[in-house]
Amino acid sequence: MDPYKMIIACTNQKGGCAKTTTAVNLATALAEGNPKRGIEPAKVLLVDLDPQGSASTSFGIEKRDLERTVYDLLMNDLGEELPIIEDYLFGPEMISDAMQSVWKQANIGKDLKESQKKVLTVENLWLLPSNIQLSGAEIELATRIGRETRLKEGLASAIHEFDYIIIDTPPSLGLLTINALAAANWVLIPVQTEWYALEGMSQLMNSIKLIQRRINPHLKLFGIALTMYQNNTLSNTVSKEVRHHLQDQVFNTMIPRATSIAAAPMEGAPIVLLKKPTKKNKGSQAYWSLSKEVSDRVKQLRRKHGVNETSKLKLHRLNQIE
């Protein structure tokens, strides 16, 4: 395994654990970077592998108008690599246009000022979108050859083009999630700090071990992110239990249950873009803090394995200059 390939599946079979929110904000923050916090900007691909298409909605993308999605990628039977960068992805300009369009719809009669336009702009983020068409993929793939590795095959031409590939998965352990775990090197698990969340942890861990044995021996646990945290007895007890069993695998940052995080999709942009990371904006502050931990953990892995490569973003910028 090349630990430099940061292909991270954001996975939990339990719904309502802020899985999509975590994947979206983490991908955006890593793409944006924050030198003051020690986060270098990176070239990031976010893969929306959930039929609900919530990751796509988070950027204001109109799913009904999509001509090509991750569904088309999975259904490719040609047995050859697809030029997904050109044909399937939403680039930074398209994502920025979609976010600004939603803002205008939500603020009829108001002008989009230059300062607000800057907030609703991304430079280093690409998206492989999804829509409801993906809901039939598990049934359609059931009889297809290589059904567990379709996503891995589809992403083959993109692996060396990005610093991070983050995959948002549906709230189940079905064939779509198996495809994500087969394509990934790492798995990040958001865990809601409520008691029912603990019940599904052992089942998820067993599924990951099964994927490791049968399909993807390179898959490893990247970390556990505690989400929907409230400063009460229940959240603190669950947090303590998770940290007791998984220790340093658990990130220090705990994502709070905040209205601002939940309301962000209405404005067509992730909370890390809409709000500055201050004590007043705890949701944005928490996701930037988590992104810092992720960035630091990646740096540690690279040092550990002696990886010293030029970032894909720097190479991308050099190619643009040429």
Structure tokens at 144: 């297809």
Q: How far apart are CA 128 and CA 167, in angstroms?
A: 9
Q: Are 8 and 155 in contact (CB under 8 A)?
A: no
Q: Is residue 29 part of a domain?
A: yes
Distance, in Å, from the CA atom of 9 to the CA atom of 169, rounded to the nearest integer, reads 7
Any domain includes 308: yes
Q: For the chain, count helices (H), then strands (E).
A: 16, 7
Q: Given a cut of 70, is residue 81 above it in pLDDT?
A: no
The pLDDT confidence band at residue 2, using thresholds 50, 70 and 90, is low
- Rounded to two decimals, the pTM is 0.95
Place 140 in a pLDDT band, splitting at 50, 70 and 90.
Answer: very high
Q: Are 191 and 156 in contact (CB under 8 A)?
A: no
Q: Which of 49, 29, 56 is nearest to 41 (CA)?
A: 29
- 201 inside domain: yes
Token match 């910028």: residue?
317
Q: Give the three-state DSSP class for 222.
A: strand
What SS3 string covers 150-218? HHHHHCCCCHHHCCEEEEECCCCCCHHHHHHHHHCCEEEEEEECCHHHHHCHHHHHHHHHHHHHHCCCC
pLDDT at 5: 87
Is 1 among the domain residues?
A: no
Question: Residue 232: its pLDDT value, please?
Answer: 94
CATH number of the structural domain spanning residue 314: 3.40.50.300
Q: How many domains would you assign to the chain? A: 1
Domain span at residue 145 reads: 6-321
